[in-house]
Amino acid sequence: DTAVSQTPKYLVTQMGNDKSIKCEQNLGHDTMYWYKQDSKKFLKIMFSYNNKELIINETVPNRFSPKSPDKAHLNLHINSLELGDSAVYFCASRTSGENWGETQYFGPGTRLLVL
Amino acid sequence: RKEVEQDPGPFNVPEGATVAFNCTYSNSASQSFFWYRQDCRKEPKLLMSVYSSGNEDGRFTAQLNRASQYISLLIRDSKLSDSATYLCVVNRANFGNEKLTFGTGTRLTIIP
């Protein structure tokens, strides 16, 4: 029944490694997002995809590469992990269209710790 | 200057009290406005949208002042379960480039 799911829930890894986080939504939404919430709890958008097409890329280092194999999935691959990448990464989705008030539904988050 | 500014708190309020949060936004082109709630170690969830005319949902009232670029949330008769971080969210929506910008959140603790 989970609307937006993410795997893994926790990820502990060494600096320099490459890792991926997966996101899936079963809401039939067209638009998906990745957000980063840092240790100060500030939530900031990283990317958004609409129907598998990249719409927003908020000056994120190119070590971060999103991939959307279909509109229900948006994965995030991170190369050469750095200490500063430690954060909670949230996936979200919404339906698209002219009604800009549509709710974004967030996944449970992936807690990434880089050692 | 941050796009969305909130008082981070924390606000420690006795059960049953009324509490108000404020938020200001810098981009006058912002189109829509929301309050989200985030519980500890959980994802943000929509609490309510904010309309120009003001809107109410049970004990919660949201107001928007476009001229002053100011949004507020009022919680009446606060309950222990209202303890959470409240995020002011602004949507700068150009077609095909919708973007939610979150404030840093205001932490609320309701004290029995």
B107 has a pLDDT exceeding 70:
yes
CA distance A27 to chain B (A): 16
B38: pLDDT confidence band, cut at 50, 70 and 90? very high
The DSSP annotation for B44-104 comes to EEEEEEE-TT-EEETTEEEEEETTTTEEEEEE-S--GGG-EEEEEEEEEEETTEEEEEE--
pLDDT at site B28: 84
Chain A residues within an 8 Å CB radius of B39: none
pLDDT at site B97: 59
Token pair for residue A35?
Answer: 């957000």
pLDDT at site A114: 97
pLDDT at site A90: 97
- Do A42 and B44 make contact, defined as CB atoms within 8 angstroms? no
Nearest by CB: A107 against B43, B91, B101: B43
- Do A43 and B102 make contact, defined as CB atoms within 8 angstroms? yes
CA dist A67 and A32 (Å) reads 11
How distant, in Å, are the alpha carbons of A29, A55, A57, A75, B88 from that of A71?
A: 7, 13, 17, 11, 28
A53 has a pLDDT exceeding 90:
no
- Do B99 and A56 make contact, defined as CB atoms within 8 angstroms? yes
CA distance A95 to chain B (A): 12
Question: To the nearest whole number, what is the mean pLDDT of chain B?
Answer: 90
- pLDDT tens digits, B63-94: 999 999 999 999 999 999 999 999 999 987 65
B10 has a pLDDT exceeding 80:
yes
A59 has a pLDDT exceeding 70:
yes
How distant, in Å, are the alpha carbons of A84, B46, B47, B84 from that of B107?
A: 24, 16, 15, 6
Phi and psi, residue B97, nearest 5°: -140, 50
